Amino acid sequence: MAWLFIVGSACFAIGPAITLLDASATLVALIFFAGSLFFTSAATIQLLLARETLGPGSVLQRLFQWRDGAWSAAAIQWIGTLAFNVTTFRSVVDALGTKDLTANAVWNPDAVGSVLFLVASAIACMPEVRRHRHGHVRDRSWLIAALNMLGSLFFGLSAIGAYTIPKTGELVNQVWSNGGTFLGALGFLFGAWLLLPKRTHAPPR
């Protein structure tokens, strides 16, 4: 799961970076789409791992019960990744069909996905959720949660910057859009890296 998050985050960090190299819109769109698929794969595993916290009741009841915070955070995050799947896939279609689409504007962060990531990260900061998710790396638990929250905040900033003004057709702020995506991806990447189990060294023979 951690490695899937790492690869997905790396894709979202590479995407804005290579726009500075005048990369093709299609290549950038494909990188973002691939990253979204890695995110969804990792989020699916996290959702399955969180099932053990579920109590009695309907899905909606479980979603809003704080004692099921680990599952709630995983479920909300999973839905958010699906929103990014839709957005990035649309960007691939646009890039393949629009000759004048610039690389810098090929991916508009999905505001819905960004909000869901932010909500999931807020729930994930709760001590009981961190104990469930990060039990194997408790000394890094708070830092992992903080990095994920930081990543979600930057993704939110990216979504604001990527909003297209109807009258002009221009983005609110291109720097916020690309910079927020890049910095948010780094936050998720380092958080996922810290989630990896500690290496154990075999005693000398």
Q: What is the pLDDT of residue 33?
A: 94
Residues 115/119/121/125 CA torsion (nearest 10 deg):
160
Look at residue 107 in the predicted model and tell me its pLDDT.
45
Which helix (DSSP H) or strand (DSSP E) does residue 205 occupy? none
Q: Where are the domains of the chain?
A: 2-195
Residue 48 CA, chain-centre distance (Å), reads 17
Record the pTM. 0.80
Per-residue pLDDT of the chain (205 residues; tens, 9 = 90+): 999 999 999 999 998 888 878 778 889 889 999 999 999 999 999 888 887 655 555 555 555 554 567 888 888 999 999 999 988 888 888 878 765 544 444 445 578 888 999 999 998 888 777 776 766 667 788 888 899 999 999 998 988 887 777 777 677 778 888 889 999 999 999 999 988 877 655 555 5
> Could you give the C-alpha distances from 149 to 20, 33, 140, 143, in angstroms and in order?
27, 22, 14, 10
Between CA 74 and CA 133 the distance in angstroms is 10
How far CA 105 is from CA of 1, 83, 177, in Å, comes to 30, 18, 9
